[in-house]
Amino acid sequence: MANVAVIGLGIMGQGMAENLLKHGHTVTVWNRTPHKAAELAGAGATVAATPAEAAARADVVFEVTADDSSSRAVWLGPDGILAGAARNAVLIASATLSVDWIEDLATRCAGQGVTFYDMPLTGGAAAARTGNLVLLAGGDASGLPALRPVFDAIARDVRHFGPAGAGTRFKLILNALQAVHLAGFGEALRLAEAAGLDPNQVGEALLDRPGGVVTRLAWDSYLTPPEPLNFSAAWAHKDLTYAARMAEGTGQDRHPLLDGVLSLFAAALAEGRGEEDWSTVNPVAPR
């Protein structure tokens, strides 16, 4: 069994920590708001005072914060992960972050001589709770098999996309496509309603057509907004912003679907709907 630190105890981090404990790993946690860490202490986790202290106890460190700003805060400085991590530790960024920051972080880790992976998560809150996440890895593939006992506690699959930064690039592409699909599904329901069709009947029928899991996600959110929140409009906007920034760096000048769906989520935030489920971009009330 491994000594594992989880830095950031939102929906995903909390589920990961719980499953690591269930599988017999020694778990140290840190969170900006202490009450979430205290909940895990009752299940057997050790609560660290700083990210550096958590990292110092660990063979493997998962960082699962919200965005670039919160990620930088837990990695850098005298209380940060890099200040506390041992040379033989494996450091993993599992938040959805910008490519620029991940590349900067990978360089810093290499300069310190520690192993680093960017490994964003997919599968949502349910997968985090049940240990069925998919880990989207960038980094040295040869080091992944040794981490299998840790990964098996939290994930059903690990997909490797290339060197450090590749996992993040894929995650941004994935979330952009899902957002486009979600917005398209909402537009289809609005068109159905305007054309005199029952959007409930149309939605059920669309589940039989191409679209798969994202259509199911969109339909379920349309019927009953998830509680607790699975993925907010603000988080979607953040990920789409990072994806658009990445797209600009490729030299390609046309991404109309990405640009269009980003504008939808920007409007949702401007209207005060950032803390609602990301299906809020589909304003059709179920009948």
pLDDT digits (tens, 9 = 90+) for 211-244: 667 777 777 777 777 777 778 999 999 999 999 9
Q: From 211, 267, 227, select the one nearest 219 (Cα to Cα).
A: 211
Residue with tokens 């995650």: 171
Please determine whether the domains at 3-163 and 169-281 fall in the same fold group of CATH: no
Rg value, the chain, Cα: 20
Residue 238 among the catalytic residues: no
Contact present, 134 and 127 (Cβ < 8 Å): yes
Catalytic residue selected from 22, 36, 171, 238: 171
**pLDDT over 60 at 16, yes or no:** yes
Percent of all residues in the chain with a pLDDT value above 70, rounded to a whole number: 94
Domain coordinates in residue numbering, the chain:
3-163, 169-281
CATH, domain range 169-281: 1.10.1040.10
The average confidence (pLDDT) of the chain is 92
DSSP 63-108: E--SSHHHHHHHHSSTTSHHHH--TT-EEEE-S---HHHHHHHHHH
User: For 208-212, what is the mean pLDDT?
Assistant: 67
Q: How confident is the model at residue 184 (pLDDT cuts 50, 70, 90)?
A: confident
Topology (CATH) of 3-163 = Rossmann fold (3.40.50)
